[in-house]
Structure 1
């Protein structure tokens, strides 16, 4: 059962995006040098901090393995050791290897061929892979393959919960995630001829920026760019 979305939530979220864009400016995300590095980062960042991911990526770069060919050549044990700083490596290593195996078997090892697959079919294919949930699949689609899909992360969940954009507050289930995705789509639905991939890219990055600064596990709302939304809707600032 999907969460109910209040009628004005999409408009409010669109205005919140505009405030964040004015406050933080362009974010130029994802922090990576190649599409495949984005994909590795999407796997590695599961259940860990980005600082830990950066260490793992640096290890792979030093080993000349930050590429499809590099990952193919690494043994499971070698890859496990290189990504150890990201944690959960016994689960992440086979997941990364499974992605590369799928790419080689079905798309001739080509990310361009993979990216040419229609979005709905490609998302389904990614979700069939071990170790790929909805957020990981959407991050790969948006940031590595340039498909116009929103990414609903923990920061957006907190924002939506604390600003009561979805009532009741979204949970961490698949239904909760998809409700946040739909809310984001609705927020940008009326942009004239938009580049939705770029819009969703910047919106997710802006959520990360405000989340790190103000919307952590304990909110710090006083000087948050989104504090005005709380005031105008009669909600208290934490």
Structure 2
């Protein structure tokens, strides 16, 4: 019951956009999140960064060092793309696709773990405290736990970045055409889905320390 909402939140476009924002700004800097690999076709929905206002808001939200790093990477990427316009480029190799997969999966494992673990702990404590006083239902307690989890995620994202950056996973060596290929986008999306699935499952560990209603009733009867 608690895993389903976590997976739905992880696959929302807003979360994907938030991760791609951080990764794009810090792909060459101290952060660990991978660059957003691949581009959307003309049929895909327009995202904020595809508009002038969205791009302006994104640029103004960066630190000076991040803007400088992003500008250098964009100039390098565009120069490579122009030079390769008429070239035939081979699809990414299996090793490159594995790197793309891992680069996308690792951060989402951390996000899924924290999101589910905090939601379970917070929701349970709310149900046992506020829920008893005001008589709220289990679903209301779960919703409030979800609120606490989302708010905590805003502050813990930086710590997750710092921790995962120590893994030293090399960035996928892709040229602009390879980054736009469907194989790269598929590997990236699979990495995100599997990563957040693993993280949410691992984040269910607090359930091991909670007693079921039957166990509580049995203990009460013994006492």
Please state which band the TM-score falls in when normalised by the shorter chain.
0.3 to 0.5
After TM superposition, the score normalised by the length of structure 1 is 0.33
Q: Which structure carries more relative contact order (alpha carbon 8 Å, separation 6+)?
A: 2
TM-score by length of 2: 0.35
Structure with greater proportional helix content: 2
Which structure has the larger Rg? 2
